[in-house]
Amino acid sequence: MGQFPINSVPFPATEVHLGTSNNAPHEFKEILVLPASVTPQISDLLMPVSAGGKFYAKLYEIPNAMPRYYGVAFRFGITDIGPVNVFFHPSTAHAHMSPKDYIGLGGAWSPLFRYVQYFGVQLAAATPNMVWVMPMIDSNVWPNIGILKSSFVDVVNTILVEVQKVAWPDAPGQTMVRNQTALQTVILSAFSAGRISMSGARNVAAISNLSREIWDFDGAGAPPPAAPRGGQALRYDQGSGPGGPTLFHVPRPRWVRFPFYSPGVDVHGHIPQRLGYHAATKSAFGH
């Protein structure tokens, strides 16, 4: 198995995220959705809960690759790095993230790192053994996923070597050799138009062969994802009508108990920020 050069990059805090956890894990609580309140019944209100804990938020760079940057989150105390959740963010073009600012993640690119924090605190709350990875994909290769199309397993295992060094500093990560892999299971997740990239990733044999679960947070731009063979697809959207064991409609009226609620609030962005706790709890992996 190949190995890519990789750098751990310190990333400064901003008004929307805490940046990387460079010497110690972040620790805080967030207002999340209580998992028990996420029912298929659209009339059941979602209930807020203050939950969280310690987690690492890291940024890794693979020079001369595209994607070049990877946001990574995992809880403090993780004991297994085999389950990996690969998250596909919304279109950077739609969010006005310019390709000229990509190197160094300047301009509108910096706020994208907030998803590392969103999912890091939710993994801390749910306590799974799961590494969450967000390829930060420039519009030039979105949605064809760039180097991940040809070298997905090698890229993810390169990142997992670095994760080991942080998670278990008394037993530093070892360079993987051919036919040896830390990656065991892939969960594919996406928010909004990130569903387009996620759908493309499912057509890549190396990804499809490892994919066992889908988390879809108010996805758009592609058909709703079907469950992988032998797995499940957890879907959260603002639809109405009957839900199901893995389909949860969470439109605005269900959020009335939350402090940010108002009759006109847009809950689109709150769905990944607060319902990842439920997904991580309901997941078949990491427990």
The β-bridge relationship of strands 131-136 and 69-75 is antiparallel
Give me the pLDDT at residue 275, please: 98
pLDDT tens per residue, range 193-234: 999 999 999 999 999 999 999 999 999 999 999 999 889 999
* C-alpha–C-alpha distance, residues 185 and 164, integer Å: 17
Closest CA to 275 of 33, 104, 54: 33
Contact indicator for 58, 78 with CB cutoff of 8 Å: no
Q: Is 82 exposed, middle or buried (0-12, 13-18, 19+ CB in 10 A)?
A: middle
N-to-C CA span, the chain: 28
Q: Does residue 92 register a pLDDT over 60?
A: yes
pLDDT digits (tens, 9 = 90+) for 251-269: 999 999 999 999 999 999 9
Rounded Cα distance, 250 and 168, in Å: 38
User: What is the pLDDT confidence band of residue 177, given thresholds at 50, 70 and 90?
Assistant: very low
Q: Are 113 and 17 in contact (CB under 8 A)?
A: yes
- Residue 74: what are its φ and ψ, rounded to 5°? -160, 150
